[in-house]
Structure 1
Amino acid sequence: MGGRFAKFVEFLQNVGVPASSLHVIGFSLGAEAAGFAGKALNSRGIRLGRITGLDPAYPGYSLTNNNGHLSRGDAIFVDVLHTNPGVLGFPQAIGDVDFYANPGKWIQPGCWVDQLLRNNELRFIYGCSHNRAWRLYAESVSNPAGFPATLCRNPVFDGCTVQIDGYMGSGANHPMSGKMYFKTNERPPFARNRV
């Protein structure tokens, strides 16, 4: 799938749409396919502008090196959102900037069965935390400053000064880098920073 998409991007470039102007967004396996497309294009001297990986798939990709999954370098800017790290989504930082929701929990707030019932969100019972990635990103499109994030090296977020170092989602931009953490509400709207 990544190879076919790379051919399509090459076609676009040949008709005047520069690959560097494209922003590819992929969820789970789609994030991995975007990474493979980026690798294929890089081998031809073409660079995608941006890849956003929404909780890139972890099972089956966990034992590979950077050539076997989405990774920094697959585009000019690679940002990754982690919402189900170590279960269905990649736990390690693999992008230029990696955003960890709530900060890095494998079960997102609102995804426990009792919370899903209370919030009338039972349709998301399967893979709730994994699916939260695309739901958060979709919300960020209409609210780019909705998910302020803090740059922090400590994976449990303790001891870090909470400050706005950037924004998760459509508000993320090059040259952001590192691990960033942010918090969400347990039900829609998920953004704590309402604009």
Structure 2
Amino acid sequence: MFLFKKIRYISAVHNTRYMGQQLASFVQFLDAAGARAASLHVVGFSLGAEAAGFGGKELKRRGLLLGRITDPAYPGYSLTGSDGHLAKGDAAFVDVLHTNPGILGFPQPIGDVDFYPNAGQWVQPGCWIDQLIRNRELGFVNGCSHNRAWRLYAESIRNPRGFPATLCRKWKGSRLCNFQVDGYMGFGAGPPLSGKMYLETNQRSPFARNGP
């Protein structure tokens, strides 16, 4: 079963390039119809964001630029250069949520702005098995930390200022990186934000520590 899933994932990785080409063609059609590519925001989770990245690269070759792309995947892309995965430059603004760095998500910054919830832990608060049981969230036992990216982003749509974040080269705790609100993760993010940003979340929904 594990081997079958691995083969399916490898096939899906390969297909993201094709899906990116199809996305580029669709966006080009919308642009010609009046919905400008520069006004569009493509939100993808995991492989979906990689497809968006390939779509953005293809659009640039066609002389168009997407307005914004959010979030990537890691396995199957980690050994490639920026031409082989979502990267800064694939849209006018690329923001990345690193909730499972080094496992199913990129550990290194690859966007215009890269958000690291809870110091970029590879296991997010609330994703340990005892916490999942206590919070009645066993449905998220598979890929809990990875899935946290879309859950945080979905919540930020309702609460754009719910996830205040601070700019810091490397988060090692408040003594080395004093927290101040430099911007917001998720829907509330946008230019001119850039660099690595850190924030803390609750271990269960609502994840935002800033109420709406």
Per the normalisation by structure 1, the TM-score is: 0.97
Which of residues 16, 28, 32 is equivalent to 2:50? 32
Q: Give 1:181's aligned residue.
A: 198
Q: Which residue of 1 aligns with 2:99?
A: 83
1:15-53 deviation line (CA, Å, top 9, x unaligned): 111000000000000111110000000011100001111
Q: Counterparts of 1:140 and 1:194 in 2: how far apart (Å)?
A: 11
Aligned equivalents of 1:171, 1:58: Cα separation in 2: 24
Number of the residue aligned with 1:104: 120
Structure 2 CA distance, aligned partners of 1:136 and 1:100? 12
Distance of 1:132 and 1:157 partners within structure 2:
22
Please tell me the residue identity of whatever aligns with 1:46: L
Give yes or no for the alignment of 1:49 onto 2:49. Answer: no
> 2:5 maps to what in 1?
none
Gaps of at least 5 residues in structure 2 are 1-18
Name the SS of the counterpart of 2:91 in structure 1: coil
Q: What SS class does the counterpart of residue 76 from structure 1 fall into?
A: strand
2:186 counterpart of 1:172: no
Q: Report SS of the residue matched to 1:73.
A: coil
CA shift at 1:103, angstroms? 1.1
Q: Is the 8 A contact 2:171 2:177 kept in 1?
A: no
d(CA) in 2 for partners of 1:173, 1:128: 26
Alignment of 1:15-26 (within 5 A): 15-26=33-44
- Cα distance change on mapping 1:94 and 1:157 into 2, 3 Å: farther
Task: Give a deviation string over 1:136-190, Cα, whole Å, max 9, x none.
Answer: 0000000000000000001434501100000000000111100000000000100
Larger Rg: 2
Give the Cα separation in 1 of the matches to 2:163 and 2:185.
Answer: 5
- Give the number of equivalent residue pairs: 193
> 1:142-153 counterparts in 2 under 5 A?
142-153=158-169
The CA deviation at 1:86 is 0.2
With the length of structure 2 as denominator, give the TM-score of the two structures. 0.90
Distance in 1 separating the partners of 2:75 and 2:22: 23
Structure 1 portions without partners, runs of 5+: none
Secondary structure class of the residue paired with 2:114: strand
CA contact (8 A) 1:89 1:130 kept: yes
Aligned residues: percent identity?
Answer: 69
Find runs of 4+ consecutive structure 1 residues off by over 6 angstroms.
Answer: none
Q: Which residue of 1 aligns with 2:9?
A: none
Q: CA deviation at 1:14?
A: 0.9
- 2:205 maps to a residue whose letter is P
For 2:35 and 2:83, the matched residues in 1 are separated by 26
Supply the AA of the counterpart residue of 1:17: A
Q: Distance in 1 between matches of 2:51 and 2:92?
A: 16
C-alpha distance in structure 2 between counterparts of 1:155 and 1:4, whole Å: 39
Does the 8 Å CA contact 1:104/1:156 hold for their aligned counterparts?
no
